[in-house]
C-alpha cells in the first residue's frame, strides 16, 4: 500500500467512471483481496445466516448503496470516505465540498479522549445531598472496584477515570441522585463496557447511599467524547459564473446565521450535517442513532436548539467553518467487526483509532453542511438533484462513458428530463 502521505484522494472524474472502475480503484487504495472486494460490491458480505446472528426474527438482508466520497484531506492525510446512504447527491456534495476545502489546505480536526458516561439512578435516599457526598468521598474505591486489570479494555489503556454526581432534589418520584461513571473506552463505542461497569457498581452505590438503584445505563449524551473540525475555503474558490467569490462567502454566512437563530431552519441545516455523519457511521457499522441523539442534545446545550456549525468570513474575506460534536464511534466490537462491509469501510478509511474515525466523521459533517448551504445560497438545491436525475436517466437509457453527461446536459438545456427523451438521445448521439 502506498504510504498514507503519498496517496491522493483527489480523483478528478471519479463519478464519471463505471462502477467496476471505481470499485477497482477503491480496492487498490485499500489493498482489498477478492473476498473483501466481493463484500464491498455487495455480491457477498452480509449473508442471511450472519444477519440471523446479529438481530432477532431475521427474515432477510436489506441492501443500501455504498458510495465513496473523494478529495478529503484531513490533517495532511488523504482519505477516501465510504458512505452508505439512500439519498442522491449526498456523496457528490461531500466530494465537492472536500475539493473546495482542499484548496484551503484541508480540514484540521481534534478530539478529546474517548470518555463515555454511564449513569446510575438512585432513589429512596434519606438525604440526597448527604448521599452525593458519601459517593464522592468513596470515589477512588468505586473506581478501583471496576478497574479490573484482567479486562482487555484496561490492558489496552482504557478504564474508569472518574465518578461524578448529579442531584435532583425534587422530582415527581421523589429526590433523585444520579451517579456518573466516566470511563475511557479506547477504540470501542463503549456501550457494553459501560453498562457492565455500572451494573457492577450499583450494589456499592446502594450501600453508600442507603438508597435503591433503578437504572444502570450509558448516556448517549457523550459530551466528554468530542470531535471537532475546522476548515478554510478561499473566497476565489467559491466564485461561480454569475457570482463573485465574495458574494458567495457572504451568502453562505447569511445562510449559516439563519440556522443559528431559527430552530425551524436549524433542524434542516443539521439534518444536512447528519447526512454526512450518519452515512459514514452506517458504512462503518456504528450506532448512528446514538450519535444523532447526542448531537442534537449537544446543539441544544443553551436551552435553545441552534445550528451545529458556524461559518464566518475571516479578515482576508475567506470562508471559515467549524463543527464540534459528541462522537461515540468505535472501530472494534459490535457490527464494526461482524459486518463484512463495515470492516472493509474501515479498511478504506485506514483509520487507526476510534478518535481518528470520529475526527474524519466530523470533517465529513462539516463538508456536507458546506455543500448544502453553498448550493442553497447559490443555484438552489434542485439544480444538482436535476443534473443527477438526468444522468441516472441517461444511464438507464443505455448511455455510457462521456455520453452520459452529454445526454444529461442536453435534457437539462431542453428542460425535458425524461427516460423517453434519454432513449432517443442515446440513439441519435451514439451514431
Ligand atoms: C437534504 O437532505 C439536506 C438539506 O436540506 C440540508 C440543508 O437544507 O442545509 C439540503
**Atom 7 of ligand 1: nearest residue by CA position:** 269
Packed helices 340-349 and 263-283: angle between N→C axes, nearest 10 degrees: 100
- In this structure, the number of other CB atoms found within 10 A of the CB of residue 240 comes to 12
How is residue 314 written as a grid cell? 475571516
Cα–Cα distance list, 315 to 158, 234, 237, 338 (Å): 43, 12, 16, 49
3-class DSSP state for residue 159?
strand
d(Cα 352, Cα 29) in Å, to the nearest integer?
16
Using an 8 Å Cβ cutoff, are 31 and 25 in contact?
no
Q: What is the pLDDT of residue 386?
A: 82
- Spell out the residues 6+ positions from residue 125 whose beta carbon is closer than 8 angstroms to its own: 131, 175, 177, 209, 210, 211
Please, are residues 342 and 336 in contact by the beta-carbon 8 Å criterion? yes
CB 296 within 8 A of CB 305: yes
For the chain, what are the domain ranges?
A: 4-110+229-378, 115-219, 383-430
The pLDDT assigned to 5 comes to 64
CATH topology (fold) of 115-219: Alpha-Beta Plaits (3.30.70)
Question: Which alpha helices (H) appear in 148-262, and where do they start and end?
Answer: 152-155, 191-209, 235-238, 245-261
Q: State the distance from the centre of ligand 1 to the C-alpha of 255, rounded, in angstroms.
A: 12
Residues classed as catalytic: 87, 271, 287, 385
Report the Cα 398 to chain-centroid distance in Å.
35
pLDDT recorded at residue 262: 98
Distance 320 CA to ligand 1 centre (A): 20
Residues 6+ apart with CB under 8 A from 171: none
* Ligand 1: centre distance to CA 251 (Å): 16
pLDDT, residue 225, reads 98
Indicate whether this model's pTM tops 0.75: yes
Q: In the prediction, which pLDDT does 428 show? A: 92
DSSP 45: S
- Given ligand 1 and candidates 273, 366, 372, 379, which is best to mutate, with the most ligand atoms within 8 Å of its CB? 372
Ligand 1: atom nearest CA of 269 is: 9
Q: Which of 87, 272, 321 to mutate to test the pocket of ligand 1 (most atoms within 8 A of CB)?
A: 272
CA distance 386 to 250: 26
What is the chain's pLDDT, residue by residue, as a tens digit (431 residues)? 456 667 899 998 898 899 999 999 999 999 999 999 999 999 888 999 999 999 999 999 999 999 999 999 999 999 999 999 999 999 999 999 999 999 999 999 999 999 999 999 999 999 999 999 999 999 999 999 999 999 999 999 999 999 999 999 999 999 999 999 999 999 999 999 999 999 999 999 999 999 999 999 999 999 999 999 999 999 999 998 889 999 999 999 999 999 999 999 999 999 999 999 999 999 999 999 999 999 999 999 999 999 999 999 999 999 999 999 999 999 998 888 889 999 999 999 999 999 999 999 999 999 999 999 999 999 877 777 788 889 889 999 999 888 998 999 999 999 999 999 999 999 998 86
Q: Which mutation among 275, 277, 306, 371 tests ligand 1's pocket best, with the greatest number of atoms within 8 A of CB?
A: 275
pLDDT at 2 (0 to 100): 54
- Residue 175: strand, helix, or coil: coil
- Residue 431 CA to ligand 1 center (angstroms) comes to 40
pLDDT value for 402: 86
- State how far the Cα of 365 lies from the Cα of 260, in Å rounded to an integer: 16
Best mutation site among 94, 255, 269 for ligand 1, i.e. most ligand atoms within 8 A of its Cβ? 269
- Protein residue with its CA nearest to atom 1 in ligand 1: 272
pLDDT value at position 171? Answer: 97
Q: Whose CA is nearest to atom 9 of ligand 1?
A: 269
Ligand 1 atom nearest the C-alpha of 87 is 2
CB neighbours of residue 283 within 10 Å: 26
Q: Which residues line ligand 1 (CB under 6 A)?
A: 87, 268-269, 271-272, 275, 372-373, 376, 381
pLDDT of residue 48: 94
For the domain made up of 383-430, give the CATH fold. Helicase, Ruva Protein; domain 3 (1.10.8)
Question: Closest ligand 1 atom to the C-alpha of 255?
Answer: 9
CATH 3.90.770.10 corresponds to the domain 4-110+229-378: yes
For residue 275, give the ligand 1 atom closest to its CA: 2
Report how far ligand 1's centroid is from the alpha carbon of 275 (Å): 8
Cα dihedral 122, 126, 128, 133, rounded to 10, equals -100
pLDDT of residue 337: 81
**Cα 267 to Cα 262: distance, rounded to the nearest angstrom:** 9
Cell of 76: 495532511
Expressed in angstroms and rounded, the spacing between residue 268 Cα and the centre of ligand 1 is 6
Alpha helical stretches, state H, 58-161: 90-103, 128-137, 139-145, 152-155
DSSP secondary structure code for residue 88 in this structure: T
Q: How remote is the CA of residue 420 from the centroid of ligand 1, in Å?
A: 30
Amino acid at each position: 500500500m502506498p504510504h498514507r502521505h503519498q496517496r491522493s484522494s483527489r480523483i478528478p472524474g471519479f463519478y464519471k467512471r463505471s462502477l467496476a472502475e471505481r470499485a477497482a480503484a477503491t480496492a487498490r487504495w485499500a489493498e482489498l483481496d477478492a473476498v473483501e472486494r466481493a463484500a464491498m460490491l455487495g455480491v457477498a458480505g452480509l449473508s442471511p445466516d450472519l444477519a440471523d446472528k446479529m438481530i432477532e426474527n431475521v427474515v432477510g438482508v436489506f441492501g443500501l448503496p455504498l458510495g465513496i466520497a473523494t478529495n478529503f484531506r484531513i490533517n495532511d492525510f488523504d482519505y477516501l470516505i465510504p458512505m452508505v446512504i439512500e439519498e442522491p447527491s449526498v456523496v457528490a456534495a461531500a466530494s465537492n465540498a472536500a475539493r473546495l476545502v482542499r484548496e484551503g489546505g484541508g480540514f484540521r480536526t481534534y478530539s478529546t479522549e474517548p470518555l463515555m458516561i454511564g449513569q446510575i439512578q438512585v432513589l429512596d435516599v434519606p438525604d440526597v445531598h448527604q448521599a452525593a457526598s458519601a459517593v464522592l468521598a468513596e470515589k477512588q474505591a468505586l473506581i478501583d472496584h471496576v478497574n479490573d486489570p484482567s479486562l482487555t479494555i484496561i490492558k489496552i489503556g482504557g478504564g474508569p477515570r472518574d465518578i461524578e454526581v448529579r442531584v435532583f432534589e425534587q422530582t415527581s418520584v421523589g429526590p433523585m441522585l444520579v451517579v456518573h461513571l466516566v470511563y475511557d473506552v479506547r477504540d470501542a463505542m463503549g456501550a457494553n463496557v459501560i453498562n457492565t461497569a455500572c451494573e457492577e457498581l450499583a450494589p456499592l452505590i446502594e450501600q453508600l447511599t442507603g438508597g435503591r438503584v433503578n437504572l444502570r445505563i450509558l448516556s448517549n449524551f457523550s459530551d466528554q467524547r468530542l470531535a471537532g473540525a475546522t476548515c478554510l475555503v478561499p473566497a476565489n474558490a467559491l466564485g461561480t459564473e454569475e457570482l463573485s467569490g465574495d458574494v458567495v462567502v457572504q451568502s453562505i454566512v447569511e445562510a449559516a446565521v439563519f440556522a443559528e437563530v431559527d430552530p425551524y431552519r436549524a433542524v434542516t441545516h443539521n439534518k444536512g450535517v447528519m447526512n454526512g455523519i450518519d452515512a459514514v457511521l452506517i458504512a462503518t457499522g456504528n450506532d448512528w442513532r446514538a450519535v444523532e441523539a447526542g448531537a442534537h442534545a449537544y446543539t441544544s446545550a443553551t436551552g435553545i436548539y441552534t445550528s451545529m456549525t458556524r461559518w464566518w468570513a475571516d479578515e482576508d474575506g475567506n470562508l471559515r467553518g467549524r463543527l464540534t460534536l459528541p462522537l461515540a464511534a468505535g472501530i472494534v466490537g459490535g457490527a464494526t467487526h461482524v459486518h463484512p462491509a463495515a470492516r472493509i469501510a474501515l479498511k478504506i478509511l485506514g483509520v487507526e483509532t476510534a478518535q481518528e474515525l470520529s475526527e474524519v466523521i466530523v470533517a465529513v459533517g462539516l463538508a456536507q453542511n458546506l455543500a448544502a448551504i453553498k448550493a442553497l445560497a447559490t443555484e438552489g438545491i434542485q439544480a444538482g438533484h436535476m443534473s443527477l436525475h438526468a444522468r441516472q436517466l441517461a444511464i438507464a437509457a443505455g448511455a455510457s462513458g462521456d455520453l452520459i453527461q452529454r445526454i444529461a446536459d442536453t435534457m437539462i438545456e431542453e428542460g425535458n428530463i425524461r427516460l423517453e427523451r434519454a432513449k432517443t438521445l442515446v440513439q441519435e448521439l451514439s451514431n
